[in-house]
Chain A
Amino acid sequence: GAVVSQHPSRVICKSGTSVKIECRSLDFQATTMFWYRQFPKQSLMLMATSNEGSKATYEQGVEKDKFLINHASLTLSTLTVTSAHPEDSSFYICSASDSLSPLHFGNGTRLTVT
């Protein structure tokens, strides 16, 4: 089945630093990748949609200068949290689609900003 790999699974960083999270589709070409944020005991909140080779589309209320998304190839998208603050601490999950199959998700990245 389709596999989406997300790295790192956990990261702790200091306030003011930037953190990059990678999302890779391992056995299919992902024309679209999605980035979600999930708070404890809540459902997934879509942050942005990225299509390979074009700029990401951000959901309302998501700061695109803070959450930089790059989808440079059909198998890799990255989310960079810039100048992280404690309120950015959360569980970030990516998903990928080749538009023919249902979405498959990575295993998430737990970000803690101290």
Chain B
Amino acid sequence: EIVLTQSPDTLSLSPGERVTLSCRASQTVSSTYLGWYQQKPGQAPRLLIYGTSSRATGIPDRFSGSGSGTDFTLTISRLEPEDFAVYYCQQYGSSPMYTFGQGTKLEIK
């Protein structure tokens, strides 16, 4: 099983700031199979990024993803009030058992 470790667990930031979230894998993950989701309280997760760097339908271009091998990042270039949420990375094919990271909570400072 591939373990994904996200850091930090919590980030306190202000609207307008730039943020980079980290996702580190216990073994190599193909860039094809790494994605990011956003989840707000009481809601189902929403796909943001797939294939490491491709934005899902309707996702604003302030969200971007990058990385390779075991280190991946999600960057939000300029935080909007609606971006404060929990973010999860997921590998969905480098191993037959899909896995999620434990999540990073983005909170308003």
- Are chains A and B native binding partners rather than an unrelated pairing? no
